[in-house]
Amino acid sequence: MKKWSVLLVLLGLLTISFPTLQEMYYDWQQSRVLSELKHLQSGLSQLNLTFERSIDTGHSDQEGTTGDIAANNSLAPGTIGIISIPVIDVRLPILEGATQENMKFAAAHLMETASIGQSGNAAIAAHRAHRKGRLFNRLGELQMGDSVEIILANQTTIHYKIDQISVVEPSDVSVLEDPGLGEVLTLITCDPLIDATHRLIIRAVKVNT
């Protein structure tokens, strides 16, 4: 009988405290989401700054060493992978961090987004050079269903299929959020090619081969 009394008391306390515990959980969830959003905004701000600086100074159209590395399927120190989009003849090394230096000759992974090859939204950005075929210059030619490949440093190849194409404001952080589709790849570049005011967004989802 004593055992049942204790259980009833505990059940009563739990019932009374449930609304408070629920509010604490919601507050924690809200704090987590706001923290993640602030983190993504920081990464997007860095990317926008890099894009703006390239407009002011003019980015190089030279292929450089990184282009040769990507063509040979080998990786230089600090390179996390290679992005290949056969339909528009793109093959670029991927460096970590969307800095001005990294994006002179390569694509850059936004560190604030998911790691490539892991569940979540991994964002990769590159400039659109004025010379046709350089960097993400031809990204606007992609269509729904086109394929994108990532070759990681350990030679693992990940296959993606494009499922969404959009043009957004530079401040639109939603393109970096996790859509809950497993392993997602988001490609970002300026739009239009000259006097860019927006961002061209190509989203692709991992497919099993």
Closest CA to 48 of 85, 103, 121: 103
Whether residue 34 contacts residue 170, with contact meaning beta carbons closer than 8 Å, is answered with no
Query: Which of 107, 190, 182, 88 is closest to 150 using CA atoms?
Result: 107
Residues 204, 163 contacting (CB under 8 angstroms): yes
Is 130 labeled as catalytic in the residue annotation?
Answer: no
Q: For this structure, is 190 an active site residue?
A: yes
- 116 closest CA partner among 41, 208, 37, 184: 184
Six token digits for residue 44: 């997007």
| CB-based contact 94:116 (threshold 8 Å) | yes
The distance between the two most distant Cα atoms of the chain, rounded to a whole number of Å, is 85
Active-site residue (options: 130, 159, 190, 198): 190
Catalytic residue among 127, 130, 159, 198: 127
**DSSP letter for each residue of 47-79:** HHHHHHHHHHH------HHHHHHHHTT---TTE
Catalytic residue positions?
127, 190
